[in-house]
Amino acid sequence: MASVEEIIELINGVIEDSSVPKNIRKAMSEAKERLRTDDEQVVKVSAAIYSLESVAEDVNMPPHARMQIWSIMSELESLKE
């Protein structure tokens, strides 16, 4: 299971990928900021997942980025338990 900091690093990888559309990078940044809040872990993880779900099925997303986002969402889900 990854830590919040490791997940933030994965998110940064998607944000820095210039082939990922701007709206998706923006949602990734929002998810990262939600993970950095002082809320309880389950609250901030749920908020980050919500941000990612909004773009996970975007038709303009490159396939490699979709796989990365699904992987990040899976890691986040494991933190909720």
Per domain, the residue ranges of the chain are 4-80
Q: Which CATH number fits domain 4-80: 3.30.420.40, 1.20.1250.20, 1.20.1440.50, 1.10.1740.10?
A: 1.20.1440.50
Residues 6+ apart with CB under 8 A from 1: 75, 78, 79
pLDDT for residue 81 is more than 80: no
Helices 4-15 & 22-35 angle (0-180, nearest 10): 160
Contact 21, 61 (CB under 8 A): yes
pLDDT-based confidence at residue 10 (cuts at 50, 70, 90): very high
pLDDT in tens, 27-70: 999 999 999 999 999 999 999 999 999 898 899 999 999 999 99
* pLDDT in the model for residue 2: 83
The answer to whether residue 80 scores a pLDDT higher than 90 is no
- What's the length of the chain? 81
